[in-house]
Every structure is written in structure tokens, then in C-alpha cells.
Amino acid sequence: MKIELIVFDFDGTIADTCRTIVATMQSAMCIMELPVADISTCKSTIGLPLKSCFAQIYPHLDDETLDRCAATYRDIFNKNKELIPPSLFPNVKSTLHTLHDLGITLSIASSRSYGSLVELIDALGISSYISYVVGADNVINAKPAPDPVLKTLQALNLKAENTIVVGDMPVDIMMGSNAHTLTCGVTYGNSSRQQLAAAKADYIIDDISQLLKLISKY
């Protein structure tokens, strides 16, 4: 078996967006006059579609209010991304460069909206390495459903058995497993090694550069 495609999550895997996301969530909660959740609670929702993040924290809210929470978040995030700019995690750019040179196709599947995703990928200077991007608004069923991976495989005409999904959250691992790919959790994002192991990740790494050694096995 040969790895021909790596599907990366974005937030917490490629880019360190935690401070930006948490600050934005808490500001949105204030504006919506909701009890402000702590940092740990906010972090636990990263990786879910935006509306689902608020639904998880406030399960009593109706659909219309959740929509307003999401819209408020988006407005604030557009300002906060300048005030608290996301950054690449250590060794991300060099690892993407090496993987790209090895001829491995690289893609991103995120619960972030497609427009926001493309904008951030461009701003971080990695768009030349990424062949395909799937945002939450590009699929009917978001993570942990396999849809983002299946859409990617179909678009690139590649097979699940030659693919590995890399992410920092259990939903990323579950998405890959549901699509019958290999999975790799990263511990430097928003989940612990124990949480990734509980999600049954095939591999768990502490630095994205360790992907190079992992890929060399195939």
C-alpha cells in the first residue's frame, strides 16, 4: 500500500487558531447575553461546524438563536483574525513542502466555511501545496461523517486505502475511520493523546514533521 493522499484538518492541525477562536466565541456569547463559557469548554467544540459549537454549549437554544450566535461569531472573527492572527504550527510549512515534493497529494477538510478556509490558507502562504479544499458548507453532513473525505476522494480520483486523515480532534479521526482511511492524530492541537487514542487513531504524533517517517513506511 502507498499513501497517495493526506487529508488535513485545519484548525489545531495546520494552524494555531485557538486563541482567535476562543476569544471570538466568548465575545459572541457576551453580545448574545449568554453565560460565557470557559476556555476549556470553548476549546472542546473546535472542529465542529460553527452552529454545532454553540448548540453543544447551549443545548436549550432554539435554531434561530443558534443561527444568530453563528452570525455574530463570524462578524467578530473577521476583526479578531487581524487582532489575534492565526499562525502555522512549528514545522508545518517545511513538512507540507517535503510531502508535496514527494508527490503526495495534500488536501484540507475543515468544519470552517470554505471562504474563510481559503482566505486563511492564502494568508498563511501554503495554498501552493494544497490541491483541494472542503469546507463545512461544501457538504451536507459535516465531521464526523465521512462526507468531506469522500468528496475529496471523488474529486481527486483517489482511493481510501491510499489515504490518511490527519487531525487534532476525535471528530477528525472518526471522519477518517468512517471513510475507511488510515488516521493520524496530532497532540499539539486541541485534544489530548488519550482522547485521540479513545477515538481509535491508527497513529498519534507530537509534531507534524513525524508524518514524514510515518509515510516512509508505506
Domain that holds residue 70: 18-83
Of 83, 104, 129, the domain-final residue = 83
Cis before residue 144, ω within 30 degrees of 0?
Answer: yes
Give pLDDT, residue 167: 98
Q: Are residues 76 and 98 in the same domain?
A: no
Q: Are residues 27 and 48 in the same domain?
A: yes
Q: Say how many domains are in the chain.
A: 2
DSSP labels for 89-149?
PTTHHHHHHHHHHTT-EEEEE-SS-HHHHHHHHHHTT-GGG--EEE-GGG-SS-TTSSHHH
Mapped onto helix, strand or coil, the DSSP state of residue 55 is helix
List b or e across 66-97, with b for residues whose CB sees 16 or more CB atoms inside 10 angstroms. Answer: bebbbebbeebbeebbeebebebbebbbebbe
Q: Are residues 149 and 75 in the same domain?
A: no
Q: Are residues 98 and 204 in the same domain?
A: yes
Give pLDDT, residue 47: 84
Mapped onto helix, strand or coil, the DSSP state of residue 184 is strand
Q: Return the percentage of the chain with pLDDT > 90, whole number.
A: 95
pLDDT tens digits along 119-146: 999 999 999 999 999 999 999 999 999 9
CATH value at residue 51: 1.10.150
pLDDT tens digits along 1-46: 899 999 999 999 999 999 999 999 999 999 999 999 999 999 999 9
Q: Are residues 38 and 119 in the same domain?
A: no
Residue type at 137 in one-letter notation: D
